[in-house]
Amino acid sequence: MMAVWGLGAVPACVAADVAGHVAGRMDIVDGDTLRIGAQRLRLFGVDAPERAQSCTTAEGHIWPCGAWVTAQVRQRYQGAYARCTELAQDRYGRSVVRCEVAGGDLGHWLVREGLAFAYRKYSQRYVAAETQAVAARRGVHGSDVQHPAAFRAARRQAAARQAAPKGDCAIKGNISAKGARIFHMPGQEHYARTVIRQAKGERWFCSVDEAQAAGWRKARR
């Protein structure tokens, strides 16, 4: 991977210089989400594989392509200075933005390198870059990869079908990609789409006290 752009004598502060604009050093959350200061930003027109997503090579090898994408973006852009323009807000309250780093479009780079898909539902801006990446089998396109939107829909359906094992034990104890133990209560924002994978150590709880005693913390939303 190439060196990170825009580092050096760039101030670390966040600058909200014009309404709808934010600039500062990036903290990469995943392939299409970042933070600048306290603001959580979703890149416009791109959709990167989810961190829990896997891909399959032509030889049938399953590999964690979602986590790999996040690692690649962090390697390239963590701490880089970006100027972002807000275009909308999504249903989670995040600003949907287009970001430039050293004059280059971050979304275009992600799609061109095969680290994200052009999100055709919202924009045709990066379709040509995706076509080139697919033809060159760059990034995840070198494997059999499910579109992230389809992956999320499948997880929501699986979560909706998953019933609590007994009685009132409906609290979902999830383990995040970073190993954080978080429990979700019925009615919380991410409860419905959280799937319990017992083989990975996730579990159901019957009460908040039980979950906290086992080392889980409550989800913030």
Cβ distance 15 to 69 under 8 Å?
no
pLDDT in tens, 168-219: 788 999 998 778 999 998 888 888 778 888 888 999 999 999 999 999 999 9
14 has pLDDT over 80: no
Average pLDDT over residues 155-159: 76
Q: Which residues contact 173 (CB under 8 A, 6 or more apart)?
A: 181, 182, 183, 196, 202, 203, 204, 205, 211, 214, 216
Say whether pLDDT at 146 is over 60: yes
CA–CA dist 174, 101 (Å, integer):
35
Least confident of 3-17, 27-41, 138-152: 3-17
18 has pLDDT over 60: no
What's the pLDDT band for 41 if we cut at 50, 70, 90?
A: very high
Tell me what pLDDT residue 167 has: 66
Instruction: Give the pLDDT confidence score for residue 19 in this predicted structure.
Output: 53
d(CA 108, CA 103): 12
Provide mean pLDDT across the span 111-131.
Answer: 97
Distance, CA of 212 to CA of 216 (rounded, Å) = 5
Q: Which of 152, 161, 164 has its CA nearest to residue 117?
A: 152
State the pLDDT at residue 198. Answer: 84
What pLDDT does residue 27 have?
96
| Mean pLDDT, the chain, integer | 87
Quick one: tokens of 22?
Answer: 């934010």
